[in-house]
Amino acid sequence: MPQEIFCGKTDIGLRRSNNEDAFIISPELGFCLAADGMGGAAAGELASKIFADTVLEIFADSTDQSEKEILYRVKKAFSFANEKILDHATQNPNHEGMGCTAELLAFCGDGFALGHVGDSRTYRFRNGQLRQLTQDHTLVQQQIEEGLISSENIRNHPLRNIILRALGQERELALDLLRGKILPGDLFLLCSDGLTDMVQDDQIQEILSSDIDVHRKADKLVESAKAAGGKDNITVVLVAIA
């Protein structure tokens, strides 16, 4: 059975006065998550915390590690957290519009299940190559897919921050659910857009390729985002498969 080494870091960045991101790493329960809150200070922070707490609750509730159960848990965590955030916003109108984007990666045997909503991302680094496993749910990404704009120069696109999907927006949540196999040597990266808006994929790949341990890699990713301006909160979660 492959062994996973988990590491997570979050940083407020250089421009924001609070950190609306959240992460959890749980080697015991075999999952990790990263979430990025939106909706203004207190509300954004609360939305990502609701997601994190809900996932923890659901994963702590069962010891069944079958693939079917893991997939069920990932789906359930997203839909329960979505309901909770919407209910909270209904009861607290000053928090209207609160939500979060989220990545949830759970392992079972030699496989994984990945839930994704929004513009946080999950990457897999394998054999020296970085691959983005998730598609951003953003207007810009949709326009790229429709061939309306090219993927170059979108970093400064005026509409790059428009998110098409997030938790806490609609009762019916469209979740991207991916699954795959893990191999020894794989390295998974979950991150908020505070990393990817600041640091290009080739630089991320270079850091993940370097001959340093996983904790140092996480530090370097955060340092690079800050060196590039640190405009937003930065969260990175790394899982190394041994």
Residues that bind Ca ion (CB under 5 A): 36, 192-194, 232
Q: How far is the CB of 218 from Ca ion (least distance, A)?
A: 17
Strand order in the sheet with 99-108: 21-26, 31-38, 99-108, 111-117, 176-181
Q: How far is the CB of 194 from Ca ion (least distance, A)?
A: 5
Nearer to Ca ion by C-beta: 73 or 121?
121
The total of other beta-carbon atoms located within 10 Å of residue 170's CB is 12
Nearer to Ca ion by C-beta: 36 or 186?
36
Q: How far is the CB of 104 from Ca ion (least distance, A)?
A: 17
Q: How far is the CB of 121 from Ca ion (least distance, A)?
A: 11
Give me Rg for the CA atoms of the chain.
17
For 124, list phi and psi in degrees, rounded to 5.
-125, 130
And the tokens for 9?
């870091």
Nearer to Ca ion by C-beta: 186 or 232?
232
CB-based contacts of 235, cutoff 8 Å, min separation 6: 8, 9, 10, 11, 21, 22, 23, 34, 36, 120, 190, 191, 192, 194, 195
Pairwise CA distance, residues 229 & 15, whole Å: 8
Nearer to Ca ion by C-beta: 58 or 195?
195
Q: Is 190 exposed, middle or buried (0-12, 13-18, 19+ CB in 10 A)?
A: buried
Nearer to Ca ion by C-beta: 81 or 113?
81
The DSSP code sequence of 8-32 is: EEEE-TTT-SS--EEEEEETTTTEE
Q: How far is the CB of 175 from Ca ion (least distance, A)?
A: 20
Q: How far is the CB of 125 from Ca ion (least distance, A)?
A: 22
CB 103 within 8 A of CB 72: no
Nearer to Ca ion by C-beta: 136 or 232?
232
